[in-house]
Amino acid sequence: MTAPTTAAAPAERQGPRGPAPRVRIRFAKHGKVRFTSHRDVARIWERALRRAGIPIAYTEGFSPRPKLSFGLALSTGHESHGEYLDVALREAPEPVAVERLPARLRPVLPAGIDVQSAVSLPAGADSLQQVVTSCTWHIEVGDVTPPDAATAVARALAAPELTLTRERKGQTVTDDVRPAILDLRLLGPVTEVVAPLAPRATEIGTALEAELATQPRALRPAELITAIDPTWTLTRVTRIHQWTQAGGARREVIDLGPAATPPPHAERRAS
């Protein structure tokens, strides 16, 4: 096998003005669409970008793919106030106006995937996998009363170590996940309106909020719950924040400002 000749090399790889520009997009995932998988979301984005006519760069070789990279996968069924993806653009006659991207992308994405913001990335910027250090999660567990949950949470936080056995690359690994729990709080009961015409709320579980580290290895909400009490069942999980470190403090990867953060449960309207 020989390398392709210069003539055949795609122009987008290395334009005259340096490497292809990249943009970082923040979007929410709420409602019915939360049942799509991480791979589904990647495919949805590929098609949406083509529909919007945004000049994306492709990988080279036998089967060219659009150059998109996502951060930490969101499990199927979980919602998120802030997901991220980086898109490499190809040289185009007209440079892409990054501030207009959300408006161009919103109409070509399915209901429940809402583009919130897009920014240009400086050349050589770290990948999402590198920059995100922790995530804050809203976690609802079913059939557990808040007092019982409080006891279990306190016990887990007080324990010198919290071991969890997980599969990793085909191998079973047992390790202490306590250091990955940066914060864990009880929010209160989860209620459900049983009769829409005569509202009467019933308690059906407990809501928690947790900040979980993503490095060196991410602790997932489902794993956290298993570590606290394997009999609990997750009913609803929402990623509230994805944090990065900047100047010794943590901040959102793309901060939308306080006004833009949806209250928890706002997403229910979408489903």
Partner 1 sequence: MSSVWTQLEPHLAGVEKPARYIGLELGAQRPVPGQGAVSWLLTYPDTYEIGLPNQGLQILYEILNERDDAVAERSYAPWGDLEAVMRRARIPLFSVDTHRPGHEFDVLAFNLSAELTYTNLLNCVDLAGVPVRAAERRPEDPLVAAGGHCTYNPEPLADFLDFVVLGDGEEVVADITRVLGGWKASGRTEGSRQAVLRELSHVEGVYVPSLYDVEYEPDGGRIRAVTPRFADVPERVEKRTIADLAQWPYPKRQLVPLTEVVHDRLNVEVFRGCTRGCRFCQAGMITRPVRERPADQVRTMVTDGLRRTGYDEVALTSLSTADFSGIEHVVQGIVDDPASCGQVSVSLPSLRVDAFTVGIATQIQKARRTGLTFAPEAGTWRMRQIINKLIREEDLYGAVESAFSSGWRRVKLYFLTGLPSETDDDTLGILELARNCVEIGRSHTKGPSVKASVGGFVPKPFTPFQWFGQNTADELGRKISLLRDAGRRARGVQLTWHDPKASLVEGLASRGDRRLGPVIEQVWRQGGTFQEWSEHFRLDLWLSAMADHGLDVDWYVYRHRTEDEVLPWDHISAGLHKDFLWQDWQDALAEVGLPDCRWTPCYDCGACTGYGIEHVVASATPPAGGSQGTGQDLSTGHLPGAVPVALRPRPLAGARA
> Quick check: 49 binds partner 1 (CB under 8 A)?
yes
Q: Does 62 bind partner 1 (CB under 8 A)?
A: yes
Does 33 contact partner 1 by CB under 8 A?
Answer: yes
Which lies closer to partner 1 via its Cβ, residue 103 or residue 125?
A: 103
Binding letters toward partner 1, positions 97-126, x by CB under 8 A: -----------x-xxx--------------
Closer to partner 1 at the Cβ: 95 or 179?
95
Q: Is 43 in the site for partner 1 (CB under 8 A)?
A: yes
Report long-range pairs for 156-164 (Cβ below 8 Å, ≥24 apart): 156/181, 156/184, 156/227, 156/228, 157/181, 157/184, 162/227, 162/228, 163/227, 164/223, 164/226, 164/227
Instruction: Output the six-digit token pair for 125.
Output: 């910027």
Under a CB-based contact definition with an 8 Å cutoff, are residues 227 and 157 in contact?
A: no
* 18: contact with partner 1 by CB under 8 A: no
Binding to partner 1, residues 252-271 (CB under 8 A): 271
Site string for partner 1, 206-235 (x = CB under 8 A): ----------------------------xx
For residue 50, what are its two tokens? 């083509």
Contacts of 84 (CB under 8 A, 6+ apart): 24, 25, 26, 27, 70, 71, 128, 132, 242, 253, 254
**What gap in Å lies between CA 209 and CA 187, rounded to an integer?**
7
Q: What counts of helices (H) and strands (E) characterise the chain?
A: 5, 13
Residue 222, both tokens: 């489902």
Residue 39 found at the interface with partner 1 (CB under 8 A): yes
Verify binding: residue 35, partner 1, rule CB under 8 A: yes
Return the structure tokens found at 200: 């009467």
Binds partner 1 by CB under 8 A, chosen from 16, 18, 61, 93: 61
Phi, psi angles (nearest 5°) of residue 85: -150, 145
Q: Indicate whether 51 belongs to the interface with partner 1 (CB under 8 A).
A: yes
Residue from the set 37, 127, 151, 165 that interacts with partner 1 by CB under 8 A? 37
First to last CA, the chain: 52
Contact with partner 1 (CB under 8 A) among 14, 19, 76, 154: 76
Instruction: Report 79-98 residues binding partner 1 (CB under 8 A).
Output: none
The contact set with partner 1 (CB under 8 A) reads: 1-2, 4, 8, 32-33, 35-37, 39-40, 43-44, 46-51, 55, 58, 60-64, 76-77, 108, 110-112, 234-235, 271
